[in-house]
A and B are shown apart, each in its own frame.
Chain A
Amino acid sequence: MCLAIPGKIERVSDASLLTRPGLVNFDGVVKEVSLALVPEAAPGDYVIVHAGLALSRVDETEARQVFAYLAAIKELGEIEDRAR
């Protein structure tokens, strides 16, 4: 029940409703999701969805920064592996 997964917003169906329904694509499976809590999110953005409600927008810049750090760890590890 608690598994919240990232999906890509395909469209915002009706922004005037309280629930702000939209369509979100989870690796090919498209579901209707409430986008009420991510008012800034637009088609193309990734959101974390839980129980039919998008809880947060995935921040691409933050993701890239952390990943650059992780990639450095990976590279360093590979160099260390080779040196052994």
Chain B
Amino acid sequence: MKYLEEYRDSTLVRQLAQRIRRVTTRPWTLMEICGGQTHAILRFGLNELLPSSITLVHGPGCPVCVTPLEMIEQALQIAARTDVIFTSFGDMLRVPGKHSDLLRIKSEGGDIRVVYSPLDAVKIAGQNPDRHIVFFAVGFETTAPATALAVLEANRRGLSNFSLLVSHVRVPPAIELLLSAPDCRIHAFLAAGHVCAVMGCEEYLPLVTRHRVPIVVTGFEPVDILHGILMAVGQLESGRAELENQYIRCVETAGNPAARALIHDVFEIVPRQWRGLGNIPRSGLGIREAYAGFDAEKRFGLSRQIVAEPAECLSGKVLRGLKKPNQCPAFGTRCTPDHPLGAPMVSGEGACAAYHRYRLQEPTAASNLP
């Protein structure tokens, strides 16, 4: 498969790791923002290839993990209604709410359907004029264009039985929050390549200048990730703080202008509550007034009630990179992918689930590389 296998070449991976070892003279802590990258790092054992002076901490870039509990509760309320077909990406179904989850509501008779794309939810709305179809729109700037297109398509088709429960989030304000924390120990970031494929790179420049922190826009395959780390360490070792683009084959500096226009047309920037991180100003996307008819929160008159997180779950610290998942006392015992206490154990992109899946088997780099 083109653009996949060559980026998993085991010799190249080893040589890149060696190059990183050569240039590293001091301890550095790097954070990869995106859960997809966390997953790849553990799956291919990339962390084991790095010198011990480089610590990778895992960022909040897993939409399943950061969708706030109050939004999950709203989803559960809507999904339990008999006049509703509730549609969602599959990995939201097992996210634990206070007393239940979507999977349980489904088993109790709720009409909950897993879709691959929000456009599929629009199709379902077209086929079921007597039911109301709600799509649970979670995700970062990568998912927002698909959601926006679904709104426009539903609008064009005049579908009045379609709405979205929106919990879209933006990456840069979350990085700002992490960098502003007094206990922040992150020296450089790998930014999520696909978010930048949509939004471009410019949003990250103020962060680089204000906090003097290297940010390298990075892809998702082992070669990409190690190359991104090499670029970030190279900056740190030479005292530079710049915005660099490793993932140049997919990311243009301006991003995808059509996608940005689409997001801008349908959404406005709003404050958003993040699970584990709290309320972050300007960190969310909400439906504009012009499309208010498609906003499920307004449509169902839902209120947001702050719901307390389970006290045992350290997800806030994990999402900030302050604790590794296996430092959580519940990890692998009271909290497992089958019985998750917190969202990072649910999604394959969640750091806790990735640690559980790959770390417990103590992967060696050689055994995981094809």
Contacts and interface: CB of A to CB of B under 8 A. Distances in A.
A78 to B, nearest CB: 7
A15 interface: no
A74 B153 CA distance: 48
Contact of B34 (A2, A60, A70): A2
B119 A27 contact: no
Interface in A45-68: 46, 48, 50-53, 55-56, 58-60, 62-63, 65-67
A63 B61 CA distance: 25
B347 interface: yes
A70 B16 contact: yes
A37 B194 contact: no
B18 A77 contact: yes
Interface string A1-35: 11111101000000000110000000100010010
B181 to A, nearest CB: 24
Interface stretch (B1-9, B286-294, B316-324): B1-9
Given A1-B347, A48-B250, A52-B119, A27 B36 contact: no
B237 interface: no
Given A27-B1, A74-B9, A78-B11, 5 more contacts: A3-B36, A37-B256, A55-B198, A56-B197, A60-B249
Given A3-B36, A48-B250, A53 B145 contact: yes
Interface string B132-173: 000000111011011001001100100000000000000000
Given A48-B197, A51-B139, A56 B145 contact: no
B186 interface: no
Q: Is the interface of B mostly helix, strand, loop or mixed?
A: helix
Which of A50, A53, A66 has the most chain B CB within a 10 Å cutoff?
A53
Nearest to B15: A77
A12 to B, nearest CB: 15
Given A2-B142, A70-B12, A37 B259 contact: yes
A48 B194 CA distance: 8
Nearest to A80: B18
B227 interface: yes
Interface size class of A (residues with CB under 8 A): 35 or more
Q: Is the interface of A mostly helix, strand, loop or mixed?
A: mixed
Given A55-B145, A70-B227, A27 B4 contact: yes
Interface of B: 1-4, 6, 9, 11-12, 14-16, 18-19, 34-36, 39, 61-64, 89-92, 116-120, 138-140, 142-143, 145-146, 149, 152-153, 156, 194, 197-198, 220, 223, 227, 246, 248-252, 256, 258-259, 262, 347, 349
Contacts of B1: 6, 27
Nearest to B14: A77
A10 B343 CA distance: 37
Nearest to B5: A27
A52 B16 contact: no
A2 B59 CA distance: 14
Which of A6, A78, A80 has the most chain B CB within a 10 Å cutoff?
A6
A55 B2 contact: no
Contact of B197 (A19, A34, A55, A74): A55
A31 to B, nearest CB: 8
Nearest to B137: A51
Contact of A52 (B61, B118, B138, B252): B118
Given A2-B34, A55-B194, A59-B248, A73 B19 contact: yes
A43 interface: no
Contact of A53 (B15, B18, B61, B146): B146
Contacts of A31: 116
B149 A34 contact: yes
